[in-house]
Structure 1
């Protein structure tokens, strides 16, 4: 989950009130955060991915003002309508079709605030933008450019500008080939005839989304007025991201938001930001039932105002709630009820023992895992446990495999290394060895765990499969050793191993094999298959491993 660092002094300055540091540490969990660490000067706080409005200090302060009743109710922002426009080229419809933009003026930017803005932008890139694929954000110095603005289809070989962190003017193709950001995100513009550009009235290139901004409009401590652009492939995600950024930046004292109309050739014109609130009715009886206390409509209104909503009593059973647009986590009445509990105060809710108890029984699947564990421990292996989430780079690229298009991906990944659900346990073992390469050799580890595959016939369009994998790193690890381990495992499970040739980029060519099995007892309720071998030196290099490594993986198949 995204982690936000801030200094006490920065927070108290924006809050307009100084708290005892210990008091603040106790309050932060009450606004749905997890305090990871703190010192005498700063705090490190983790927030859930459903609250991207917390990913900058301004959002945290806004919530604290409500909790402490410094300011209550839905925030009101000074929004000024303008005639400024952003005109979109027709060629972008099938490249990166949507853009949302606005201006925020009279913003004070210190060195600390400059760092906070950059971190805020990158957190949103991950949580909403899926590493810029779905949404990319640019924040510029407005005073360096002139309206009107254009979202145009750029010529990769002819259009050129000086990108951030560069002193040389480069063509768009050169940026993708030579600039660090270009090389990292070039796949997002792969095979495109044109590349998106944001340009001002004088033809100055401000940004090449989703790759890099221009050096011309970079933010400094002298910047007072911001131009914000958000581009992407999903118009709702683009709109949500702009609303969050604009509202958080508008929390600065004296800041004013100015609108921009985006003119599409393939869509209706849209004025941004879109601050029209969402309205949801919440019912006192349901809130009382879910929270476990008797609530009146008046009490609900007060608690919701503390959590920065507006609320109006319709009758004693119904309260109409007005939800600000930066609260993209509010989807249903139950989300409002959660905020009622938060405004009431979790520590003030009565504690009760449950009225029922249960008696646990062993999970049959876990009983089978125990058998596998006993076999592997008997062979001198140590069990590890890793996360099911991994990344395409670790799971495919470092193993020399092409990225599998049919994989289970995370819709809104929180970090770059947790973007998909694994289909194999192999990379987890190699990552573990990489993290422990300073330990003595030999190291022998194994893991039993589930992997996931897309399955159109399954009710949830996904199925899980149990696998077991093991690895040994040592100076004398070789094919004979791993083959003997496999023969022992397979025979202990009641099978005879049948070997076949197997070539895979994970292994040294000619030093690996795959196998199927024959059961000694036809009534065995499962079968298995797998592979083993000596790991390719290039794969070892990819994982920073320096000694020979052998590994295996077994897939268990229910009959």
Structure 2
């Protein structure tokens, strides 16, 4: 569905105006298949190759544009900007097989690139296209490799330097009759998907529609010798009961097959079981991985709007928030109503911001660290909300003081007892930035939030061991993030159990200095 040809074909089949095509391979006029021999050196850079020949094709300007546009679309999405797969299409009549797929040092590859007159070697080509708005995006894929992939014909004419550019010698025009297509890749599955989509869409313009001439890939070193493309539909099965249960219907196997026919499948009731349908998935449908995909297509053919609105007794349709989100919303609302502004900093931060800048030591067992961070700013998943608040204040110093901000969000900790080796915790933090320390202001916010969470304040005597009152109290604490003698831990007793649930205080001057705050 990435080109006009595919969309029009699928719509016509869906409306019953056309039959789903049967794609097949044919032998060439001389009875001899084109071959492409893969050299072992290609394993260093792009190990897989596939391809096909489209014979006696008839191009119009619209068809030609669509042919190029489909390649671009596949390059962008399925091929991940050409990193996984790249397609080269050539006028076969300007080339002479057999072909070879090699990997050579850039200085040894010399050819005239597409739509140019000057011959260049691989290194010169990289330099030349650095400023090209379109091609420069792909240079990084092979630039730093000691060898570049290249495809030659039997006369040593360069067909293409994948994934960068084709040679000018074999460029396709409106007069091209026979197309040789080569596809190089890092991914074994995607190279065949791309090949199948390309030939399926444009084989309808061949003299004999829906026919493709295969080519022979000779690649003994990695056991990838084969004939491509393989246009045989994949055979699978789907359960009638599963399809009906998911859609809330009671269709027979024959009715399901009828609906699947509209979606270009070849389906028949299974002889082995009344609850199964045998489905042949066409090569154009690489998205079908499971019977749930077949069920979805039955629902589309039946019509989503025709499905029952609800499935009584089969599913619960009333959603409700997670308790932790409900609690977070209460805290968020109270802080906002007290005049504080909510901020949402990034969850990743640098190692120094999370530890050294807060005068904290990393014991190696606390923070989740990224194995390959792109920049120093994204090294660890934060274990505290403080760095995000201080960075926000730092970026907004030009605003009038006081600045009062808070965040209710997740932090993460290593936890080897869990399957994913880490856990999230929902935290609340607030920071006040003004001309004075503001200790009493954050203390006031703490008391307000605890009051709204129905937690009573206990005096120091009430909080001592031996009493059984539920509530919270504060005690002085020695925390290196805060100024000595100006920090307090928040203790909570609940159901007889005591916890330290937080800390507040005046930040240490060295912490402020690191975040460039006065």
Q: TM-score, normalised by structure 2?
A: 0.67
Which residue is equivalent to 2:328? 368
Q: Distance in 2 between matches of 1:77 and 1:138?
A: 22
Which residue is equivalent to 1:556? none
CA-CA distance at 1:363 after TM superposition: 3.2
Match of 2:5 among 58, 73, 96: 58
Which residue is equivalent to 1:151? 101
Say how many residue pairs are matched. Answer: 426
Between 363-372 and 263-272, the greater mean CA deviation after superposition: 363-372
Q: Distance in 1 between matches of 2:263 and 2:488?
A: 63
Q: Distance in 2 between matches of 1:491 and 1:174?
A: 68
Match of 2:285 among 327, 341, 353: 327
Match of 2:246 among 290, 295, 298: 290
Match of 1:273 among 206, 229, 238: 229
Q: Distance in 1 between matches of 2:92 and 2:412?
A: 47
Answer whether contact 2:85 2:186 (CA < 8 A) is retained: yes
Residue 404 to residue 179, structure 1, CA distance change in 2 (3 Å): farther
Match of 1:189 among 139, 142, 154: 142
Secondary structure at the counterpart of residue 124 of structure 1:
helix
CA-CA distance at 1:204 after TM superposition: 1.6
CA deviations on 1:390-431 (whole Å, 9 max, x unpaired) are xxxxxxxxxxxxx965479xxxxxxxxxxx9x9699xx99xx
Aligned pairs for 1:461-540 within 5 A:
492=445, 519-521=489-491, 523-525=499-501
Match of 2:266 among 305, 310, 322: 310
- List alignment gaps of at least 5 residues for structure 1: 1-53, 390-402, 409-419, 430-440, 471-479, 501-516, 537-549, 552-559
Secondary structure at the counterpart of residue 143 of structure 1:
helix
Larger Rg: 2
Which residue is equivalent to 1:99? 49
CA-CA distance at 1:334 after TM superposition: 2.4
CA-CA distance at 1:492 after TM superposition: 4.7
Answer whether contact 2:54 2:206 (CA < 8 A) is retained: no
Between 113-122 and 295-304, the greater mean CA deviation after superposition: 113-122
CA-CA distance at 1:69 after TM superposition: 0.7
Q: Distance in 2 between matches of 1:138 and 1:486?
A: 68
Residue 382 to residue 212, structure 1, CA distance change in 2 (3 Å): farther
Answer whether contact 2:150 2:162 (CA < 8 A) is retained: yes
Q: Distance in 2 between matches of 1:136 and 1:484?
A: 61
Q: Distance in 2 between matches of 1:148 and 1:233?
A: 23
Which residue is equivalent to 1:264? 219
Which residue is equivalent to 2:366? none
CA deviations on 1:181-218 (whole Å, 9 max, x unpaired) are 66433332254221101122221212111222223333
The answer to whether residue 194 in structure 2 is matched with residue 241 in structure 1 is yes
What RMSD in Å do the two structures reach over aligned CA positions? 4.9
Match of 2:294 among 336, 350, 353: 336
Residue 329 to residue 483, structure 1, CA distance change in 2 (3 Å): farther
Residue 352 to residue 370, structure 1, CA distance change in 2 (3 Å): closer
Secondary structure at the counterpart of residue 176 of structure 1:
helix
Q: Distance in 1 between matches of 2:416 and 2:95?
A: 50
Answer whether contact 1:373 1:383 (CA < 8 A) is retained: no
Which residue is equivalent to 2:169? 216
CA-CA distance at 1:322 after TM superposition: 0.8
Residue 460 to residue 135, structure 1, CA distance change in 2 (3 Å): farther
The answer to whether residue 152 in structure 2 is matched with residue 199 in structure 1 is yes
Q: Distance in 1 between matches of 2:182 and 2:122?
A: 19
CA deviations on 1:84-126 (whole Å, 9 max, x unpaired) are 1011111112321001111123334344444433332233223
CA-CA distance at 1:493 after TM superposition: 6.0
Residue 91 to residue 379, structure 1, CA distance change in 2 (3 Å): farther
Which residue is equivalent to 1:507? none
Residue 466 to residue 112, structure 1, CA distance change in 2 (3 Å): farther
Residue 348 to residue 154, structure 1, CA distance change in 2 (3 Å): same
CA-CA distance at 1:460 after TM superposition: 5.2
Which residue is equivalent to 1:393? none
CA-CA distance at 1:279 after TM superposition: 0.8
Answer whether contact 1:384 1:445 (CA < 8 A) is retained: no
- List alignment gaps of at least 5 residues for structure 2: 349-368, 390-398, 448-473, 482-486, 493-498
